[in-house]
Amino acid sequence: MLKQKFITGLFVSLSLLFVFFTSVSSSTKIDSVSPKFPSIAPCEDIKGEVSFEKDGSGKIVKKVIKVSDVEEYAKKMGITLPSPHVEIFHISPIMEMPTPANNSPHAKRWVGELYLKNVEGPREGCGQVMIRNSYYEYPGGSMSVFSENVQASYGGSASVPAEIISAAVNFNVSESFSVSDTQDVQIPYGKKANIKAYPMVNIWKFDVYEKDIFSDSYQQGTGWAEKLSGVCFSVIIY
């Protein structure tokens, strides 16, 4: 029977995220992979008054949440509030969700073969590594974010080949993805605004099992996979 060593990190790689301004061009380097479960703010956990933005054709393209608990949100996103009296709007794109995870626990397996069970996802969230930060005054402005070749990432407590994870989550975890977005802000007279951009990701969680000789299987550990799907914006009016 094959045994796998327990390890704390898995397949660590670096990704570059290049952010370009409408008037000034710069780049930001982000480590998109960690042996620990990624730190994200799940979109469904953000509470507040909901509205929507539409494009020129009238199609709904973004969800806007006027955050009800500003202090809790700021703490979760690592934001220092510029004033005790602020309004925060969390803005995220409305996108088609990827194909659900592929759970096949009853497939025929060989002794010693690793496989994934209890695959959960995709879950949508905003990464907490800020990729763009700009300030605006009345009457407002526009922030543009473009990314290039941001690699998907995966990790966990047990060593699993990338192709096994890819088959379970229905995308290539070794592939790179890119996104772009623009966010406009209108500022009331006498107010200012701070727009912060964060990577939006889809994330999956799973358990890692190994086929045993004398029993059905036993759990080796847990893991996760994520890929870039868009850009989240925090608009702070103060």
CATH code of the domain in which 135 resides: 2.170.15.20
Residue 86 lies in a domain: yes
pLDDT score at 63: 95
Task: Indicate the number of domains in the chain.
Answer: 1
The CA distances from residue 92 to 24, 159, 232, in Å, are: 24, 33, 5
- Give the whole-angstrom CA distance, residue 17 versus residue 71: 29
- Give the whole-angstrom CA distance, residue 96 versus residue 190: 38
pLDDT score at 102: 66
Residue 1 lies in a domain: no
Residue 92 lies in a domain: yes
Residue 5 lies in a domain: no
The H-assigned helical ranges of the chain are 70-77, 162-169
Burial of 210 (0-12, 13-18, 19+ CB in 10 A): buried
The domain containing residue 46 runs over which residues? 15-237
Residue 206 lies in a domain: yes
pLDDT score at 98: 66
Residue 81 lies in a domain: yes
Average pLDDT for runs of 10 along the chain of length 238: 34 31 29 51 87 93 96 92 94 79 57 81 86 95 84 87 90 90 95 94 91 74 91 96
pLDDT score at 9: 36
Residue 165 lies in a domain: yes
Residue 8 lies in a domain: no
Contact 63, 232 (CB under 8 A): no
